[in-house]
A = this chain, B = another copy of it.
Amino acid sequence: MNLRGAMMTDKMEVTPWTVSQELKDTDYDRIADEFGAKRLNDEMLERIRGFTGDLHPFLKYGIFFAHRDLDLILDDYGNGKRFYLYTGRGPSGKMHLGHLLPFLFTKWLQDKFNVDLIIQITDDEKYLFRDIDQEDISRYTDENILDILSLGFNPDRTHVLVDSQHSGLLYNNAIKVARYITSSSAKAVFGFTDSDNIGKFFFTSIQAVPAFLLSELKGEDIRCLIPYAIDQDPHFKLARDVIPKLGYYKPSSIISKFIPSLKGSGKMSSSDQNSGIYLDDDPKSVRKKLMKYAFSGGRDTAEEQRKYGANPDIDFAFNVYRLLEENYGKVQKIHEEYRSGNMLSGEMKSLAADKINEFLAVLRTNKERVSKDVSSYMFDPARFE
C-alpha cells in the first residue's frame, strides 16, 4: 500500500481520471476488496432475481460484480419502501457503445423497480479536469443527453441534472459535503497533489449531491442506489463517509468492471474515432470497424481456429453480442460454437455487427422522438418538494 491509501494498489492506480493499466478479472476482485466493496455473490443475485424475475446480462456475465449495501436497498424495497437511482456521465466527447451500455443496465433497474433516476451530466468536471473549452463541452452535453435518453428511459421518472444548468442547487448542497472533506482526504482518495487546481479538489462534493438530493428535497430519507464503473468508487467512498453526517442514509452502490473496448484495452478511449462504435456509425462502418479493429479471442488462422477454438471471454465481438442478446440459450450456443472452433472469428464479428446494427437502429428511432421532448426530462426540484 502506498501513501494514497486504499484507492490504489502497489502496482495500479484506479481513479476517475487515471486507470494505470488493463485490468484482469483477478485485478477487479482485488480492487473491490481493497476498496472495501462486497462481491455480488450468487446469494445476492438470487435476491435480485426474486424481485426482478430474471437477471440482466450485465449481472449474468459479471460485468456488475460488486456492491455496497445493496442488501439494504432490497430490504427496504421488500418492505414497500422505494429507493431511487443515480448515475452519470462526464461529457468530454461523443459517446460510444462502451459508454452507453452501462446505462442499459440502469434502465433495466429502473424498469424492474419502477423508481426515479437522476442522470448527472458533470460538464463542470470536464472543464476542470481537461484541456477542453466550454463550447465543446456544451455541445457534447447536448449530444450525450440525447444518446443516453435514446435508450428509452421512463419519461416520468428520469431526471437529467446538468451541473452547469443546476449549479445553484448543486453548489448550495455541495458546500455541506465539502465542509467534511479535507484536502488530505481528497489527495489520498484521488491522488491529487498541490499542483492540482482547487476546482478539482472541490468537485467531488458536487458529484456527491445527487446521492442525497431527493431526500433533501422531499424532507424524508430515501435510499439511493448508484450504478457505476469501479473508477468512480473513490467519489462514492467519500460520499458514504460524509452523507450520514448530513442526516441521510449512506448511498448504496452496484459496481461494474469496464466494458471491453473495441481494441481490447481496459477502458475505451474517446479520442480515437476507431476505438469505439458510435451511435451515428452507419451499418457499413460498424461492420468495417468490427472486422478491422475488434480485439479477437480467436486464433491467427482459420485452420488453428478450427483446431483449437477461440477464447470468447476476451473477444470484443462475443462480449458485445452477449450483452445485447437477451436470449440466454442463444448466447450459450454461440459461446460453445466459438470456443470449440466451429465458428470462425469473422463469423463471430459478423454476428455481433448484425446485433449492434439492430440495436443502433432502435436507438436512432428513439433519438428522433426524444429530441423533440428533451426539456421534459430535465431535473426539476419542484417535482420533489
A52 part of interface (Cβ distance < 8 Å): no
With A and B bound together, what is the CA distance between A178 and B197 in angstroms? 6
With A167-B168, A175-B124, A179-B128 as contacts: A198 and B205 at CB distance below 8 Å? yes
With A and B bound together, what is the CA distance between A175 and B174 in angstroms? 14
Residues of B within 8 A of A178 (CB): 128, 197-199, 202
A181 part of interface (Cβ distance < 8 Å): yes
Residues of B within 8 A of A168 (CB): 166-169, 171
Which residues of chain A from 184 to 211 have any CB-CB distance to chain B below 8 Å in the complex?
Answer: 184, 186-187, 192-199, 201-202, 204-205
With A and B bound together, what is the CA distance between A20 and B178 in angstroms? 27
A183 part of interface (Cβ distance < 8 Å): yes
Pairwise interchain contact B179-A197, C-beta atoms closer than 8 A: yes
> What copy number does this chain have within its complex?
2
With A168-B171, A199-B205, A202-B202 as contacts: A187 and B194 at CB distance below 8 Å? yes
With A and B bound together, what is the CA distance between A198 and B181 in angstroms? 6
Residues of B within 8 A of A184 (CB): 194-195
With A and B bound together, what is the CA distance between A164 and B169 in angstroms? 9
Pairwise interchain contact B171-A195, C-beta atoms closer than 8 A: no
A140 part of interface (Cβ distance < 8 Å): no
Name A201's contact: one of B127, B167, B172, B202 (CB within 8 Å).
Answer: B202
Pairwise interchain contact B201-A183, C-beta atoms closer than 8 A: yes
Residues of B within 8 A of A176 (CB): 127
With A175-B124, A175-B127 as contacts: A181 and B167 at CB distance below 8 Å? no
A105 part of interface (Cβ distance < 8 Å): no
With A and B bound together, what is the CA distance between A196 and B167 in angstroms? 23
A35 part of interface (Cβ distance < 8 Å): no
Pairwise interchain contact B171-A198, C-beta atoms closer than 8 A: no
Determine the interface band of chain A, counting residues with CB < 8 A from chain B: 35 or more
Name A202's contact: one of B167, B182, B194, B199 (CB within 8 Å).
Answer: B199
Pairwise interchain contact B195-A198, C-beta atoms closer than 8 A: no
A8 part of interface (Cβ distance < 8 Å): no
Pairwise interchain contact A128-B175, C-beta atoms closer than 8 A: yes
A180 part of interface (Cβ distance < 8 Å): yes
Residues of B within 8 A of A182 (CB): 194-198
With A and B bound together, what is the CA distance between A127 and B171 in angstroms? 13
* Residue in chain B with minimal CB distance to A164: B172
A170 part of interface (Cβ distance < 8 Å): yes
Pairwise interchain contact B183-A194, C-beta atoms closer than 8 A: yes
Residues of B within 8 A of A197 (CB): 178-183
Pairwise interchain contact A198-B186, C-beta atoms closer than 8 A: yes
Pairwise interchain contact A196-B175, C-beta atoms closer than 8 A: no
With A and B bound together, what is the CA distance between A166 and B168 in angstroms? 7
A213 CB to closest chain B CB, in angstroms? 15
* Residue in chain B with minimal CB distance to A173: B167
With A127-B175, A128-B178, A201-B202 as contacts: A195 and B167 at CB distance below 8 Å? no
With A and B bound together, what is the CA distance between A194 and B178 in angstroms? 13
Pairwise interchain contact B172-A198, C-beta atoms closer than 8 A: no
A201 CB to closest chain B CB, in angstroms? 4
A141 CB to closest chain B CB, in angstroms? 13
Which residues of chain A from 114 to 168 have any CB-CB distance to chain B below 8 Å in the complex?
Answer: 124, 127-128, 164, 166-168
With A and B bound together, what is the CA distance between A194 and B197 in angstroms? 14
With A and B bound together, what is the CA distance between A187 and B193 in angstroms? 12
With A and B bound together, what is the CA distance between A174 and B179 in angstroms? 18
Residues of B within 8 A of A179 (CB): 127-128, 197, 199
With A and B bound together, what is the CA distance between A128 and B176 in angstroms? 8
Sample (5) of A-B pairs whose CB atoms are under 8 Å apart: A124-B175, A178-B202, A182-B197, A183-B196, A184-B195
Ordered nearest first, which 5 A-B pairs have the shortest CB separation? A178-B199, A168-B168, A202-B202, A184-B194, A171-B171
